[in-house]
Structure 1
């Protein structure tokens, strides 16, 4: 690869070892130094996705990493995205567009076909940017998945890029993780590893030094650094749901979100989860929805199976009771579809073909279609007794819905492909208690968040939450920790510090 900082790949000993966060931080470090840098992840598996300006779909982690670089995300930053719709199957998205659903065995064979798309996207980015920060997936030591690998060392060998391996010491067993991972690699793959990073360390580093010395002696690889555990780090998760919240002593409003089996785009709720005035709670299987001021049904990759799951939990009965007592109810994307009269899947796109009776709160009828709706949107939201406010976000759904209810969102006419797209979105019930929309990111605009909460009965908020500012601060904290605790000269000897 040409250029001092051309490419570096971060692989992990396990899932959630810190790869996504480390790549975001390295992107910010290089961007601070004036280097034109972009993120890349060849294969991602996540239900938490983002929409690019040109209407493509990528993993949200790469959108966050692009944000860290100060650039717009593109489909080439994540050419293969897998969105699980069963325990053994997933929708396969190639360079931003949904291809088909495959089970794990079929996709394992498809990887030979996928590699040219991966390399095409990587080469496009390499021609456009001075540096590429690459994220692996899972662990390179998953020997049962090594054949035709496009996510870890298979890609690193094909693209000829150096690799660092990160491990999470907070899980325990960090030296076994690092030593064992390296030992399971081939000799050429081991030669590609330039060092280790230990993540999420708490305590006195002196107690760790003997272990670091042992690891370097046994492997012949340097420990590039030990990153501290960063408490209260609020950065959008790649897939795992974060229940951490900023709860003030005088939280004045309670919001419940039931966690369904294929919940998607849970980052919709970060502005609520992080607000000190809001008691925000994800409600898991076996937990009641009683006691909330506002219940929000989230997006889901498998709306009909998750509607059945919701009923099996008795959450439909909790919702009925909630509404009888005057509570407010919302639905976003798949949750919006659940609020309607029926959901039809004639082609079996999300499982067995058929029709499901929905919850019946909105005059909404939905049919699932092969062509996914993907677009960034901006418009105005008008709720009962509230001023009209600006909303921004994105749509990402495989359903077309028609409603006879009032539609509270009106899009700007210059929105993408407006000729093929309704200029209105959402529905609100005649009683004014129930509101649904396809728009992800509905709470991101502070004025929209305030209007929705006031509609739901919340008292005026004590402060305004700027989610972009939260993300900037979180990424800066990671970058600061990297510059303080990692020996970047081991990665980039000519990098000016």
Structure 2
């Protein structure tokens, strides 16, 4: 292999870049190479906190696919959207303040050399760095200072695969148009791929030939639409359901209130056999569930007010008499008696919460982000539990700061990532199964699920052939 870096860039958002990078990391690592993922700048509310600080979950997932420990250097810049056209800046895992929308260009100029220096470090330490672009390559109004796409590719002459997504239409304009709009980078492209195709591949053979003729670039693959959801980094890609549950297993409803964040905390549940997990706002679906989860929120106060405005607030109080309810981080805060924000981090003043648990929460700086350990007093779990925290909120009970709390069927914790603990997940699910009359069952290790899912993708001839062809070109 001659290339030290390979980039996957898209014609637009949600074309499948994150998953293809994860697959590339796994494929080339299986060939004995030391591989690292890299995304210079990511905008996402799905973050994981390592010992170093916060990073986007997509790059953590890609690191696991490569058999590597996630590092914040794999995603040096993380922007976490806030309300009112602002975003929190996370650099190398640590908060750097809030970025107003009008200062985006200045922000990127300020971080350019630092981010590129980190990329050079990864190049020196690895056999291959697999780069994920952000959004679309041909965002002409954003090209100046585009750290994640244009400037990185141009500065380091990185060969790249252009990904177009046919499921939403416009594939010819996507691929041909992107090459034409950034023609100065066209020579660096080793080809294009058409992703998320439904139907018989022979039906689009002519389409691939037309694209090859128009672009002068080879079609590296026509990749099928995957019905399984392996890596959904953006909540816009989530499937929200009001249809109700269809199976006979354990029913888990995730309350999809506005400002939902860190929903990938729940990914191990989504892939758990015998568990049906639905994201929903429908009262009927909540009433059918055995377990209701209140997930994290990037604005807990606004999520709480939405509960009150829609009537779900009182519904949850009623359902608490018979359902299991679990709050994670912001959801834990909502389960308490009161939320106060004297510094105006999310709102000013105080807000009554559900009162299903007796603690009170106060928002204050500095932000806490990192690995943490707790020993929750849950009915099914009273030993040490590891996870990570990303929060401004502090919760107190009788003057003592707490990380978790429970009262019979109501559970809450500040720990993100607890479902990645296979023993904890099994203990919780079987505790609920026992209470609702379902048979207990063992849990499969989540790491095995991740690798099995990725390996199963390679069983499809289109993906297998694509990566074999890619290997030859590099």
Task: Note whether the superposition's TM-score is higher than 0.5.
Answer: yes
What is the CA distance between 1:183 and its match in structure 2? Answer: 1.6
What is the CA distance between 1:387 and its match in structure 2? Answer: 5.6
| Partners of 1:45 and 1:169 in 2: CA distance | 24
Query: Of the candidates 382, 389, 414, which is equivalent to residue 395 of structure 1?
Result: 389
Question: 2:449 aligns to what?
Answer: 470
The question of whether the paired residues in 1 share the 8 Å contact of 2:292 and 2:325 is answered with yes
Question: 2:406 aligns to what?
Answer: 428
Question: 2:328 aligns to what?
Answer: 332
The question of whether the paired residues in 2 share the 8 Å contact of 1:327 and 1:433 is answered with yes
| Partners of 2:184 and 2:247 in 1: CA distance | 58
The question of whether the paired residues in 1 share the 8 Å contact of 2:253 and 2:277 is answered with yes
Question: 1:460 aligns to what?
Answer: 439
| Partners of 1:40 and 1:402 in 2: CA distance | 39
- Listed one character per residue, the Cα deviations across residues 358-417 of structure 1 (whole Å, up to 9, x for unaligned) are 222222222222322222245555423x36456332222222222249x9xxxxxxxxxx
- What TM-score, normalized by structure 2, do the two folds share? 0.91
Question: 1:362 aligns to what?
Answer: 357
Question: 1:264 aligns to what?
Answer: 261
| Partners of 1:286 and 1:157 in 2: CA distance | 51
The question of whether the paired residues in 2 share the 8 Å contact of 1:164 and 1:196 is answered with yes
Question: 1:210 aligns to what?
Answer: 206
Query: Of the candidates 90, 94, 103, which is equivalent to residue 93 of structure 1?
Result: 90
| Partners of 1:32 and 1:243 in 2: CA distance | 32
Unaligned runs of 5+ in 1: 408-421
| Partners of 2:422 and 2:70 in 1: CA distance | 23
Query: Of the candidates 179, 185, 189, which is equivalent to residue 189 of structure 1?
Result: 185
**Structure 1 residues 312 and 222, CA gap change in structure 2 (3 angstroms):** same
| Partners of 2:20 and 2:188 in 1: CA distance | 19
**Structure 1 residues 398 and 279, CA gap change in structure 2 (3 angstroms):** same
Greater shift in the superposed pair: 391-400 or 446-455: 446-455
Count matched residues.
Answer: 467
| Partners of 2:472 and 2:86 in 1: CA distance | 40
Question: 1:318 aligns to what?
Answer: 315
Question: 1:141 aligns to what?
Answer: 138
Question: 1:41 aligns to what?
Answer: 39
What is the CA distance between 1:479 and its match in structure 2? Answer: 4.4
**Structure 1 residues 223 and 440, CA gap change in structure 2 (3 angstroms):** same
Query: Of the candidates 445, 452, 469, which is equivalent to residue 421 of structure 2?
Result: 445
Question: 2:226 aligns to what?
Answer: 230
| Partners of 1:479 and 1:86 in 2: CA distance | 40
**Structure 1 residues 242 and 467, CA gap change in structure 2 (3 angstroms):** farther
**Structure 1 residues 69 and 276, CA gap change in structure 2 (3 angstroms):** closer
**Structure 1 residues 363 and 388, CA gap change in structure 2 (3 angstroms):** closer
The question of whether the paired residues in 2 share the 8 Å contact of 1:165 and 1:195 is answered with yes
Aligned to 1:306, what secondary structure does the other structure show?
A: helix
- Listed one character per residue, the Cα deviations across residues 286-305 of structure 1 (whole Å, up to 9, x for unaligned) are 87633332221110111111
**Structure 1 residues 154 and 478, CA gap change in structure 2 (3 angstroms):** farther
| Partners of 1:370 and 1:155 in 2: CA distance | 34
Q: CA RMSD in A?
A: 2.6
**Structure 1 residues 262 and 248, CA gap change in structure 2 (3 angstroms):** closer
| Partners of 2:248 and 2:421 in 1: CA distance | 21
Greater shift in the superposed pair: 440-449 or 73-82: 440-449
Unaligned runs of 5+ in 2: none
**Structure 1 residues 254 and 477, CA gap change in structure 2 (3 angstroms):** closer
**Structure 1 residues 309 and 269, CA gap change in structure 2 (3 angstroms):** same
Question: 2:464 aligns to what?
Answer: 484
| Partners of 1:372 and 1:53 in 2: CA distance | 15
| Partners of 1:177 and 1:302 in 2: CA distance | 35
| Partners of 1:363 and 1:275 in 2: CA distance | 32
